[in-house]
Amino acid sequence: MTLHTAEKLVVITEKFISKNVCDIIEACGATGYTVVAAGGKGSRDVRATTERASVIDDFSNVKIEVIVNDKAMAEEIMERVVNEYFDDYPGITYLEFVEVLRPAKFHKTEL
Amino acid sequence: MTLHTAEKLVVITEKFISKNVCDIIEACGATGYTVVAAGGKGSRDVRATTERASVIDDFSNVKIEVIVNDKAMAEEIMERVVNEYFDDYPGITYLEFVEVLRPAKFHKTEL
Amino acid sequence: MTLHTAEKLVVITEKFISKNVCDIIEACGATGYTVVAAGGKGSRDVRATTERASVIDDFSNVKIEVIVNDKAMAEEIMERVVNEYFDDYPGITYLEFVEVLRPAKFHKTEL
């Protein structure tokens, strides 16, 4: 079995803008994404420590993951999400290194 | 504190076959796994862009994670899941490098 | 765009102690965290294979993720969670290497 290196791009933000983030992901050429409901607390909410219990049970955020075998595409998605939404909405975005089986599956131009 | 390298194996697929995937994981000797409900869109569904809103809210997929300290075991699980299910069901599988505290915890033969 | 290395700390444990884990995370100086509902099976539960179906559907666990740009802080959180809770509650904790856009966002002293 041959494993190939790829990047996993993660965006965690408010569910309210999840469709906008997915629009960016597809516009940049990614072929798929995974969405998980999430709660939590961001650096902007640090003062509200007394409300932590409700934060944990309030899954009003989403964690969106995209596997790409093109780091430039991953960076373009990150940059657009940050520039277009993270001034107005809380969120974080990061990359992780992964190993996949079939790299062609993750790049639209190779479908 | 000593950290040890390990592998995190991830399988994202339809909830419908999650038990089959967990059977493979256990048959290969892993001692535990974590399951998260997920929505999203795979490369096979890219044409249905008009239905994206429902895709995001439809958590009919699962993300299954397994920590193993044996890359051969991780690869065996990936290979079996792909060969036995991914011709018929949409899904992706990938590995990530992680650092854990207690490696023995993740390998059945060492329990 | 400049990416910076950081650590993603993950704790998977019972929902029952999620507030305690978040207390430790904040006490150690992290500025935010993400919480996802999870099911699964740990190494302590391996014998109960006949109950796997219910395990998959029972999201009584949580997966808590924290991005930090300070590995010593990540290790302190891991060590406290393990020492204070993992004798009495099932759980795992691991680190992943990630790349982020804005490192200052993840360290309280730099807010």
The Cα of C30 is separated from the nearest Cα of chain B by a number of Å equal to 19
Q: Tell me which amino acid residue A21 is.
A: V
Q: Does residue B61 lie within any of the structural domains?
A: yes
Residue A109 lies in a domain: no
Predicted pLDDT of residue C106: 62
Burial class (CB in 10 A: 0-12, 13-18, 19+), C68: buried
Residue C14 lies in a domain: yes
Question: Alpha-carbon distance A76 to A72, whole Å?
Answer: 6
C96–B98: do the CB atoms touch at under 8 Å?
A: yes
- Partners of residue A64 on adjacent β-strands: A11, A35
Domain membership flag for residue B45: yes
Each as own residue / partner, the long-range contacts of residues C58-61 (CB below 8 Å, 24 or more positions apart, any chain) are C59/B37, C59/C15, C60/C14, C60/C15, C60/C16, C61/B34, C61/C12, C61/C13, C61/C14, C61/C15, C61/C37
Contact (CB, 8 A) for B100 and B1? no
Mutate which of C12, C17, C99 to disrupt the A interface (most A C-beta within 10 Å)? C99
Q: Decide if pLDDT at C26 tops 70.
A: yes
| Predicted confidence (pLDDT) at residue A47 exceeds the cutoff of 80 | no
- The reported pLDDT for the residue numbered B43 is 66
Distance from CA of B43 to the nearest CA of A (A): 5
For residue A106, what pLDDT band results from cuts at 50, 70 and 90? low
- Is A59 part of the contact surface with chain C (CB cutoff 8 Å)? yes
Residue A79 lies in a domain: yes
How high is the pLDDT of residue B53? 45
Digit-coded pLDDT (tens) for B33-59: 999 999 998 765 433 334 444 455 578
Cβ atoms C94, B20 nearer than 8 A: no
Q: Look up residue A67 and give its two tokens.
A: 């596997």
pLDDT band with cut points at 50, 70 and 90 for residue A49? very low
CA C46 vs CA A58, B26, B100, C37, C54: distances in Å? 31, 9, 20, 21, 14
pLDDT band for position C109 (cuts 50, 70, 90): very low
Neighbors of chain A by Cβ distance (3+ pairs < 8 Å): B, C
Q: Which of residues 34-53 of C touch B (CB under 8 A)?
A: 36-43, 45-46, 49, 52-53
Nearest CB partner across the interface for B38, out of A8, A34, A98: A34
What is the total count of domains within chain A? Answer: 1
* Whether C28 contacts C20, CB under 8 Å: no
Percent of all residues in chain C with a pLDDT value above 90, rounded to a whole number: 68
Quick check: B35 and C39 CB within 8 A?
yes
- Of A39, A63, A38, which is closest to residue A53 (Cα–Cα)? A39
The answer as to whether B108 is a domain residue is no
Query: Does B107 map to a domain?
Result: no
pLDDT for residue C107: 52
Q: Residue A49 belongs to a domain with what CATH number? A: 3.30.70.120
The answer as to whether C109 is a domain residue is no
The range of the structural domain enclosing residue A16 comes to 4-102
pLDDT class of A92 with cuts at 50, 70, 90: very high
* C31 against C25, higher pLDDT: C25
Q: How many CB pairs under 8 A join A and C?
A: 76
Confidence (pLDDT) at B16: 93
pLDDT at residue C44 in the model: 57
pLDDT confidence of residue A103: 61
Among A1, A26, A35, the residue with its CB nearest the CB of B75 is: A1
Low-confidence ranges of chain B (pLDDT < 50): 45-54, 108-111
Pick the closest to residue B56 from C39, A53, A84, A23 (CA basis).
Answer: A23
